[in-house]
Amino acid sequence: MSKKILATNITKSGKKSKSAKVKAGECVPFLHKGNLLKDCVDGINGKWCATEVNEKKQMIKFGFCQEEENSLSLSPNTAGNNAGKTESKTAGNNASKTVGNNAGKTVGKTVGKTVGNNASKTSNAKKTKKIIKKGMELNTIPLTIPEGMEDYVRPPDTILKIRNWEMPNRKIFASWFNTNFKKYRSRKTISDIECDDSAVCEIKPTKFELFTHQEIVRDYLNTESPYRGLLIFHGLGVGKTCSSIAVAESFKSDRQVVVILQKSIKQNYISQLKMCGDRYFNHDNNWVFHKADTLKKRNFAKVLGLPLKTYKKLGGWFFINYNKSNNYISLSKDEKINLEEQIDNMIDSKYEFVHANGITAAQLDKMEEKSFFDNKLVIIDEVHNLINGMASGGSMRALGLEKLFMDAKNLKLVFLSGTPMKNIPFEIGKTFNILRGFIHIDQFEISKKKGKLDFNDLKNLLHSHPRLDQVSIKAKDKIVKITQNPFGFITSADNVGLVKGDNSETGFYIEIKKLLEANDYDIKTHKNYKTTLFPNENKHFMNMFYDRVNNNIIDKNIFKRRIMGMVSFYSSAKKELIPEIKTSEVIKIPMSDYQFDKYSIIRKEEIDRDKKKKTTKTVSKEDAFSVNSSYRAYSRMLCQFVFPEDIPRPFKGDSKDLELDDDILTVLSELKITYERKIRQAKKVEDKEILKSSLKEEERKLKSSSKEYEKRLMETLNTLDRRRDEFLQVVERKDMGLKKYSPKYADIIEKIKKVKGNKFIYTEYKTSEGVGILSISLKANGYAPLKVKKDAEGDFILDINESDKSKPKFALWEGGDESDIILRVFNNLWDTLSDKIQAQLAELGTNNMRGEVLEILLTTKQGAEGLNTKNVRQLFVVEPYWNPVRLDQVIGRAVRIGSHLELPKKDRNVEIYIYLSKATKKQLKANVTMGNDFGGLTSDEVLYQIAEKKRAIMIIMLNMMKQSSIDCSLNLADNLGTNPDLKCLDLGEVSGRYSYSSAPDIVDELKEQEQETRVERVKKTFTTLVYKKDGKQIKVSRSGNKIYDYELVESGTPGQPIGQIVRNATGKEIIKMN
């Protein structure tokens, strides 16, 4: 031993062990699993060591190692909102306090004693340092607390301290999780739930505090856990962003945090960081500025994570006094500015933001060259958008990031999404493939040099190796497959789970081979290969899991077991904060005869074009997942609106171009990134030049075609606008006015006029048969546009004609500063606008709670994500979309947590209308071709059917994720409000750690369908018992003679028995707890 360590017979719980093998005394070197150990080993009852050994150094007796007395653990600059250091009081006068800056280091009471970063390390910790070099380098300064700054030491963190972790591929995982996280069954009773920035909640907490579902996520995926990634599948308005920040704050002293998101929502994420991140990011503290006039103060500030930029500018930092009340309001204007800079610099030093829609091919190549994501924590907001690009194979940017994620070493991932499946089921498979990373498998053929090959003995031998995770044996062929524990983790000495230890990514098979050879096994052949959790191609995934005939998912049990440990689900919120959906109606509007005639001509052309392409299979006979956004592009537009006879609509030559009208920048970006990659990969200079010329020509053609088409289209729309009263007014006759050219638009306007309040209209189309013509139609029926412009001084002001001030108004939200002002007017957030705009609004009305000033807000796909409205009473979805998630996202813009709290309770409701155009029986009878086209269904109706078919599969996929979520049982009571049929995955009673719930290679799992892991178990029946303990009544559940946790049984996951029914001396049944 490097130093004397005394062991006793007292366990970590303080109880005296009665085991004959326990003996107090001095620890001595001993053999354990083939290694000579000189330090204490982690065990279920505390750290232990040998106190007596034989001649071969084999343990005879052992004792429990005692922790250093009078010590206090100090946390590094981590762990989110409450993370940090705990002050160690010193006996004596105002002598310096001393701390070690790494997690788990101890601080003695000795005056002036400095504890460095090597204090109190176990052997496992020493080994881990060799592996996780990057993280350990961030804070490695021995620290002495400067005199007078004791109150600036961070309070202790509240993260669960888990000694042994379990792998999700074990059947015992759910039971392990529910046991270790059981404290979170008692939900926090916080006075309100997180609302949108724009929402008015009736009660606000005085200090931010994580909700229980956010603490679960933080404590599961942190610097001490072995898991690679987690999908935070949380519902609208319950704090996905703050959950990810809680995880990030628990990591940030160990590794850099990268946040991948759309550029437009970066500022929102930073705002959330300042609300629920590090205490140093929040204004509401007691701030004290100190000059950094000593080395001790500078070192202290560095460990706290205070930025160097602030020191260079101010010569010191603002520190938080944790024992005094908030004084931010009393700071001077200059102090507040300097403090804000310190906060921003601190965020910049720990968080790196990458714009998902702005990465170039050159940047991807540079990231790959530098192994950019190695040893980092990566958070991806709205991950479904990125995954969609990966799964479809159409986005070079997405595919480039996928490769970087899969190849990264020691990477941790946090995915955020309320809608994980955007279009096809394979997106879910792709999501979990990336979260899990490559699965590396060693496969070998084995034989016994002497005697019979006993596979149970072989398994036991392999399981004895601390680096081994799973072993599967195909006895017939004598083929063995093994996998390794996660990077940096080994199986604990007492085999109760994983602990940090020396487990690098190299040398694993060599050690296994030596172990086998030392025990008379002979390896004939060996190969190492890598695979993914699910098939990594859409075709293979769909063949494995999708039943096309019945539109169903097969092998659900396999899917659910394989995603264990990688998803957190939470959907609930206080019902009183959510507006009621008063009606949700799909309205089928009959086409006018004029509209049907125009529609049938275009639809006939589409049918003929499909025949020429020999695409005779109809969507109804194949799966819905082959349909894309250009499906029936022309005829879908004519379901919206048809132009008058003497104002013909201009068209581009290719139907695909229709979808590009509003996406020219996106198309150009993808075109450029594709060519950049080809140019960089080209070896010859002349090939590079040819590709560059081709790129320029493609860009020129695209821009030229778009400009020429846009010019003709705008001329047509201007003509229609000038003649709007002639064509677009809503009148009684169906063959005149707007009812002739768009019965849809006419019905929308009629419904708008019947209800008082804010209205929200969503359409996929921006320029013509969408916002463009709908806006003209609104003007023709008495509405006026509300716009924003800059005045002579460069300030934003409202742009509205004097003659229109008394008219009800509409506006378009399309992102940007002008749209932000529009949204604030619509949401009645007038006090957040400039004085000039407030003065203009005062002339128009007193508020906008019921659309008094701005009644109608229109938006397109730009507003499907990231737009938060308030007080919406009617939502109109003008047309169906081939992707069902789009509809859910649009509804989520209007029906939000806290979105209607300004209104009286009776008005906190929303009417939702989804519009489809249909043909009449008379029209179909007169047109045989249309009558035979999908049974007379219009393009609107067919597209809606496709979306609903996809929705059915999406619901199944998402339900499987909910059932397999790590916190299904813990969050069940809250989730049942919105998921009344939710049942958590139950894997039954398990004995030991080596009963697996899934195989490393999915091919093997599917071949083993008759194995015990696939057998349906007999369902238990439970009765409820109540017994008294310490004067309290406690509920338990009984099945046979076994006792189970009542709450776990109620959640559908009974887990392991916690006791049993026995008979006492008188023969009476009593409960005996384990």
pLDDT on residue 127: 34
Confidence of residue 708 (pLDDT cuts 50, 70, 90): confident
Tell me which of 18-27, 381-390, 642-651, 849-858 is least confident: 18-27
pLDDT on residue 676: 73
Calculate the average pLDDT of the chain. 84
- The answer to whether 545 and 623 have CB atoms below 8 angstroms apart is no
Residue 866 exposed, middle or buried by CB count within 10 Å (0-12, 13-18, 19+)? middle
The set of long-range contacts for 711-718, using a CB threshold of 8 Å and a minimum separation of 24, is: 712/650, 713/649, 713/650, 713/767, 713/768, 716/643, 716/647, 716/648, 716/649, 716/650, 717/767, 717/768, 717/772, 717/773, 717/776
Query: Can you tell me the distance from the alpha carbon of 488 to that of 918, in angstroms, rounded to the nearest whole number?
Result: 61
More confident residue, 849 or 93: 849
Enumerate the H helices of 382-450 as residue ranges: 383-392, 396-407, 426-436
Mean pLDDT to the nearest integer, 1051-1074: 79
Looking from the CA of 490 toward its CB, the CA atoms found within 13 Å total 22
| Residue 834: count of CB within 10 angstroms of its CB | 12
CA-closest candidate to residue 570, choices 334, 272, 234, 211 = 234
Looking from the CA of 372 toward its CB, the CA atoms found within 13 Å total 19
Mean pLDDT to the nearest integer, 159-173: 94
Mean pLDDT to the nearest integer, 505-528: 93
6-65 shares its CATH topology with 439-531: no
The set of long-range contacts for 767-771, using a CB threshold of 8 Å and a minimum separation of 24, is: 767/661, 767/662, 767/710, 767/713, 767/717, 768/637, 768/641, 768/649, 768/661, 768/713, 768/717, 769/637, 769/638, 769/640, 769/641, 770/640, 770/860, 770/878, 771/812, 771/858, 771/859, 771/860
CATH topology of domain 6-65: Seminal Fluid Protein  PDC-109 (Domain B) (2.10.10)
- The answer to whether 570 and 974 have CB atoms below 8 angstroms apart is yes
Query: Can you tell me the distance from the alpha carbon of 873 to that of 112, in angstroms, rounded to the nearest whole number?
Result: 67
pLDDT digits (tens, 9 = 90+) for 693-702: 888 887 777 7
In this structure, what token pair is assigned to residue 913? 């209308």
pLDDT digits (tens, 9 = 90+) for 345-398: 999 999 999 998 888 888 998 999 999 999 999 999 999 999 998 998 767 788
More confident residue, 427 or 40: 427
pLDDT at 1028 over 80: no
- The answer to whether 319 and 288 have CB atoms below 8 angstroms apart is yes
pLDDT on residue 623: 58
In this structure, what token pair is assigned to residue 71? 């010590």
What whole-number percentage of the chain has pLDDT above 90? 55
Confidence of residue 1007 (pLDDT cuts 50, 70, 90): low
Q: How far is CA 642 from the centre of its chain?
A: 42
- The answer to whether 985 and 964 have CB atoms below 8 angstroms apart is yes
Angle at CA 81, nearest 5°, toward 78 and 87?
Answer: 65
| C-alpha distance from residue 259 to each of 220, 247, 377 (Å) | 19, 12, 8
CATH topology of domain 439-531: Alpha-Beta Plaits (3.30.70)
Question: Which DSSP symbol is given to 358?
Answer: S
Tell me which of 162-166, 190-194, 764-768, 953-957 is least confident: 190-194
In sequence order, the 6+-apart residues with CB closer than 8 A to the CB of 140 are 101, 102, 117
- Please give the span between the terminal C-alpha atoms of the chain, in angstroms, as a whole number: 37
In sequence order, the 6+-apart residues with CB closer than 8 A to the CB of 823 are 813, 857, 867, 869
pLDDT on residue 277: 93
Tell me the sheet residues that pair with 16.
10
Angle at CA 888, nearest 5°, toward 260 and 572?
Answer: 80
CA-closest candidate to residue 124, choices 201, 32, 187, 249 = 32
pLDDT digits (tens, 9 = 90+) for 290-304: 999 999 999 999 989
Query: Can you tell me the distance from the alpha carbon of 157 to that of 388, in angstroms, rounded to the nearest whole number?
Result: 37
Domain extent listing, the chain:
6-65, 72-152, 439-531, 1018-1073
pLDDT digits (tens, 9 = 90+) for 910-923: 999 999 999 999 99
Give the CA-trace dihedral at 494, 496, 500, 505, to 10 degrees.
Answer: 100
CA-closest candidate to residue 125, choices 188, 41, 185, 182 = 41
pLDDT digits (tens, 9 = 90+) for 785-839: 999 999 999 999 999 999 999 999 999 998 888 999 999 999 999 998 999 999 9
Tell me the sheet residues that pair with 9.
none
Query: Can you tell me the distance from the alpha carbon of 794 to that of 772, in angstroms, rounded to the nearest whole number?
Result: 28
Give the CA-trace dihedral at 677, 679, 682, 687, to 10 degrees.
Answer: 150
CA-closest candidate to residue 909, choices 876, 877, 872, 878 = 872
More confident residue, 687 or 331: 331
Tell me which of 70-79, 229-238, 908-917 is least confident: 70-79
Mean pLDDT to the nearest integer, 247-259: 90
Number of residues in the chain: 1074
More confident residue, 101 or 568: 568
Mean pLDDT to the nearest integer, 1020-1041: 79
pLDDT at 988 over 50: yes
Query: Can you tell me the distance from the alpha carbon of 785 to that of 805, in angstroms, rounded to the nearest whole number?
Result: 10
Three-state secondary-structure class, residue 1073: strand
Query: Can you tell me the distance from the alpha carbon of 742 to that of 923, in angstroms, rounded to the nearest whole number?
Result: 16
Three-state secondary-structure class, residue 26: strand
pLDDT digits (tens, 9 = 90+) for 532-547: 999 999 999 999 999 9
In this structure, what token pair is assigned to residue 721? 């606008």
Mean pLDDT to the nearest integer, 254-273: 89
Residue 907 exposed, middle or buried by CB count within 10 Å (0-12, 13-18, 19+)? middle
The DSSP H or E segment spanning 313 is helix 308-314
CA-closest candidate to residue 536, choices 654, 427, 397, 670 = 427
pLDDT on residue 34: 60
| Residue whose token pair is 């001649």 | 55
Q: How far is CA 22 from the centre of its chain?
A: 47
Query: Can you tell me the distance from the alpha carbon of 679 to that of 700, in angstroms, rounded to the nearest whole number?
Result: 18
Enumerate the H helices of 576-663 as residue ranges: 593-612, 633-638, 655-658
Angle at CA 10, nearest 5°, toward 6 and 15?
Answer: 170
Q: How far is CA 57 from the centre of its chain?
A: 50
Three-state secondary-structure class, residue 355: strand
In sequence order, the 6+-apart residues with CB closer than 8 A to the CB of 858 are 761, 762, 763, 771, 774, 775, 810, 811, 812, 813
More confident residue, 908 or 3: 908
In this structure, what token pair is assigned to residue 436? 């899990």
pLDDT at 126 over 50: no
CA-closest candidate to residue 356, choices 372, 373, 377, 380 = 380
Backbone angles phi, psi at 741, to 5 degrees: -95, -25
| Residue 1035: count of CB within 10 angstroms of its CB | 13
In this structure, what token pair is assigned to residue 919? 């043909």
CA-closest candidate to residue 927, choices 589, 645, 597, 602 = 597
- The answer to whether 1061 and 1038 have CB atoms below 8 angstroms apart is yes
Query: Can you tell me the distance from the alpha carbon of 234 to that of 417, in angstroms, rounded to the nearest whole number?
Result: 7
Mean pLDDT to the nearest integer, 845-863: 93
Confidence of residue 662 (pLDDT cuts 50, 70, 90): very low
Q: Which residues of 1056-1066 are buried (b: 16+ CB within 10 A; e: fewer)?
A: bbbbeeeeeee
Amino acid at 513: K
